[in-house]
Amino acid sequence: MIKLYFTTPKNSVISTISRLLFCLITVLIFISRPVLAEESQEQSDKRDLRMGQRLFMGLVDFKSGRFDCSSCHYLGATEEINWNPSAYDLAIAWLEEDGTDIYQVMNNPVSERLEEEHYGMTITSEEERLLQVFLKHVAEEGPGVLKPYPINTFAFWIMGILMALAIIDLLFTKRVRYRFIHVAVLIIGIGVHTAFARIESVKVGRSQGYAPDQPIKFSHKIHAGENQIDCRYCHFIADYSLSGGIPSNSICLNCHNVIKNGTNSGAFEINKIHRAAKTGEPVRWVRIHKLPDHTFFSHAQHTNVAGIECQTCHGPVEEMHIVKQVEDLSMGWCINCHRDTKIQFFENEYYTTFNELYDKLKSGAIDSITASEIGGINCMKCHY
């Protein structure tokens, strides 16, 4: 169920096929085109790009020696945090033209740290040009995306083939004499397949363990953990809104107007906040905790009224450099919490509405009331 609109189902098979077709056609067109004199420009661009890539990846020597830029400035997405700006970040920063010429950093480092890191690196203008070509290409490609759920389908396919063989052999070819082998293969195969189906079907629409790269390497560990900033300082609307609230840029600037150098990432990441303020282009964070569209959840109800800790649902965020979805956010998980969580009956005047339960609780006839006992597991608490 889609809350606001229904996305047209795009079958992955179809999209893959169309992508393949597109590639094929491109290749065909490319091949079929006669080589003309103008091509040389295109080809030289290609060569430049290749050269730039090789330089960046440390496959070719710089004048000043062999450095692998990509060993620090990653080209793809990462699962572990890498405090250095990624290649994409560099490319964007350069394209943004905010005055910093990042290539000068190597020749004239602006900070001690940069000097330290890039010690002995100097680049020539030709090398700079090549790198520019490559980074421009990187910027166009966009940041690498981690496949959210890569799973190993090897076992699944192997078992499938084995099962098919077992059936064929059992019925027709009869090569293997001992039938318990067939039976065993079939039983194990069905077991494996069922397990796969179960695991995968449970995962559908869920993203437990999802930890995407964010546009800014914002570390909750440093902010909430080491610096002990209260969650509600930034996510202040969680106390009275349905939404938890992604903090606006201005909230970052409350502190980062003053703090311009980060512990790990230097000025580079913090600069992104300033750049956003300057350009008016907000930071596009990647959403991690998302409930299906047909599920309505109020942060205010949980954090403010019920007094549930943020960590109950979001996990130990204060220990995470890259925020990861810890809980599966499944309905069962919600329901179980509602079954177990006791209501602070006397702390809110509202609950006097439940006068009978209130009296019972007061007289000690019952010792606690859980959310589920006052309709906490009704369907229309969350779905409407």
Partner 1 sequence: MIRSHFKGVLVEGNKTYAEVTRDIALPTETKPSRWWYAAMTLATLALLAGAWALYETFAYGLGTWGINNTVAWGWDIINFVWWIGIGHAGTAFTIFLLIFRQKWASSINRTAEAMTVFAVLCAALFPLLHMGRPWLAFYILPYPNTRGPLWLNYNSPLFWDVLAISTYLLMSITLWYFGMIPDLATIRDRSKSKFKKTIYGIFAMGWSGSAIQYNRYESLNKILGGLAAPLVISVHSIVALDFAVSVIPGWHTTIFPPYFFVGAIFSGFAMVLTIMIMLRKVLKIKDFVTDKHLEFIARVLQFGSLIIGSSYLMEIFIAWYSGVEYEAFTFLHVRASGNFSSDFWIMVLCNAIMPQFFWFKKFRKSLFWLFIISIMINIGMWFERFVIIVSSLSQDFLPANWATYKPTLVDIGLYVGTFGLFMAGMLMFIRFIPIIAINEVKGISKLGYEENKEKE
Partner 2 sequence: MKKYWKSLEEYNGTHFDPGEEDQSGISTFELLSSENNESKTSRRDFLKWCGFSFMSATVLASCESPIKKAIPYLNQPEDITPGMASWYASSFYDGKDFCPILVKVRDGRPIKIEGNKSVMLTHGGTTGRVQASVLSLYDTAGRYHHPFYNGEKTTWEQADRDIAGKLDSARKDIVLLTSTIISPSTQEVINRFKNRYNNFRHVVYDAISYSAIREANLLSFNRREIPFYRFDSAGLIVGFNADFLANWLLPVTYTRQYADSRALRKDKKEMSRHLQFESGMSVTGANADKRFKIKPHEELQILQGTYNILAGNGNGSEPEQAKNLAAEIRKNENKTLIVSGTNDIKVQTLVNAINYMAGSYGNTIDFTNSLNLCQGNDKDLQQLVNDMEAGKISALIVGDANPVYDYPGNGFKNALDKVDLKVSFSSVLNETSELADYILPSPHYLESWDDVAPANGFYGVAQPTIRPLFDTRQMQDSLLKWSDNDLSYKDLIKELWEKQIFTKQNKTGLFTAFWQESLQLGVFTPEIESVNVNISNEALATAGSLQKATVNEGWDLVFYESTALGDGRHANNPWLQELPDPVSKVCWDNFAAISPVDAEVLGVNNGDLIRLFEGVELPVIVQPGQKEKTVSVALGYGRQRSGKVAEGIGVNVFNFVEFKDGYKKYNVSIDQPVKTKAKTDLALTQTHHNMEGRAIVRESVLTAWQNDPASGNELHEFNEAHKATLYPEAKFEGHHWALAVDLNRCIGCSACVIACQAENNVPVIGKREVMRRRIMHWMRIDRYYTGETDNPGVVFQPLMCQHCDNAPCENVCPVAATTHSDEGINQITYNRCVGTKYCINNCPYKVRRFNWFQYSKNKAFDYNMNDDIGRMVLNPDVTVRERGVVEKCSFCVQRIQEVKLKAKLENRKVMDGEIQPACVQACPGKALVFGDLNDPDSEVSKLFKDERNYHVLEEMHLLPSVGYLTKIRNV
Partner 3 sequence: MSKKSVIGVFDDENRVVSAIKKLKENKVKINDVYGPFASHDILSLVTKPTRLPHLAFIFGAVAAILTFLFVYYTSVINYPLSYGGKPTFSFPPMVVIIYLITILGTATLTVFAFIGRTAMYPGKKAKMPGIGAMDDKFFVVIDQKNTVADVESLMRNSGAIEIRHEEF
How many CA atoms does the CB half-sphere of 348 hold within 13 Å? Answer: 12
DSSP 227-260: S---HHHHSGGGGTSSS--PPPHHHHHHHHTT--
Piece of 80-88, 122-130, 218-226, 346-354 that binds partner 2 (CB under 8 A): 346-354
- Cβ of residue 357: shortest distance to partner 3, in angstroms? 17
- Beta carbons of 276 and 249 less than 8 angstroms apart: yes
Structure tokens at 164: 């098919």
- Cβ of residue 55: shortest distance to partner 2, in angstroms? 31
Interface with partner 3 in residues 54-113 (CB under 8 A): none
| 122 or 378: CB nearest partner 3 | 378
Interacting partner of 336 out of partner 1, partner 2, partner 3, none (Cβ under 5 to 8 A depending on kind): partner 1
Among 46, 179, 287, 339, interactor with partner 2 by CB under 8 A: 287
Which DSSP state fits 305? I
**Nearest of 334, 322, 364, 330 to residue 346 by alpha carbon:** 364
- Beta carbons of 313 and 328 less than 8 angstroms apart: no
248 contributes a contact to partner 2 by CB under 8 A? yes
5 contributes a contact to partner 1 by CB under 8 A? no
Distances (CA, A) of 47 to 40, 44, 52, 53, 134: 10, 5, 8, 10, 10
Among 1, 171, 258, 380, interactor with partner 3 by CB under 8 A: 171
| 118 or 381: CB nearest partner 3 | 381
Interacting partner of 341 out of partner 2, partner 1, partner 3, none (Cβ under 5 to 8 A depending on kind): none
Residues across the chain: 384
305 contributes a contact to partner 2 by CB under 8 A? yes
Piece of 91-99, 129-137, 225-233, 279-287 that binds partner 2 (CB under 8 A): 279-287
170 contributes a contact to partner 3 by CB under 8 A? yes
Write down the residue that tokens 């009224």 correspond to.
Answer: 305
**Nearest of 203, 192, 138, 132 to residue 162 by alpha carbon:** 192
261 contributes a contact to partner 2 by CB under 8 A? no
- Cβ of residue 171: shortest distance to partner 3, in angstroms? 5
- Cβ of residue 116: shortest distance to partner 1, in angstroms? 50
* 3-state class (DSSP) for residue 342: strand
| 78 or 104: CB nearest partner 2 | 78
How many Å is the Cα radius of gyration of the chain? 29
Distances (CA, A) of 145 to 20, 77, 128, 175: 20, 6, 27, 48
335 contributes a contact to partner 3 by CB under 8 A? yes
Among 261, 301, 312, 336, interactor with partner 2 by CB under 8 A: 301
Among 23, 108, 149, 257, interactor with partner 2 by CB under 8 A: 149
Interface with partner 1 in residues 144-203 (CB under 8 A): 171-172, 202
Among 107, 358, 377, 381, interactor with partner 1 by CB under 8 A: 377
User: How many residues bind to partner 3 according to rule CB under 8 A?
Assistant: 4
Q: State which amino acid sits at residue 35.
A: V
Cα angle vertex 96, ends 80, 275, to 5°? Answer: 75
Interface with partner 1 in residues 290-349 (CB under 8 A): 328, 330-333, 335-336
DSSP 26-51: HHHHHHHSPP-TTHHHHHHHHHHHHH
What's the burial of 225, exposed, middle or buried (CB within 10 Å: 0-12/13-18/19+)? middle
Piece of 22-30, 80-88, 117-125, 242-250 that binds partner 2 (CB under 8 A): 242-250
Cα separation, 344 vs 368, in Å, equals 9
Where on the chain is the footprint of partner 3 (CB under 8 A)?
170-171, 335, 377
Where on the chain is the footprint of partner 1 (CB under 8 A)?
171-172, 202, 328, 330-333, 335-336, 377
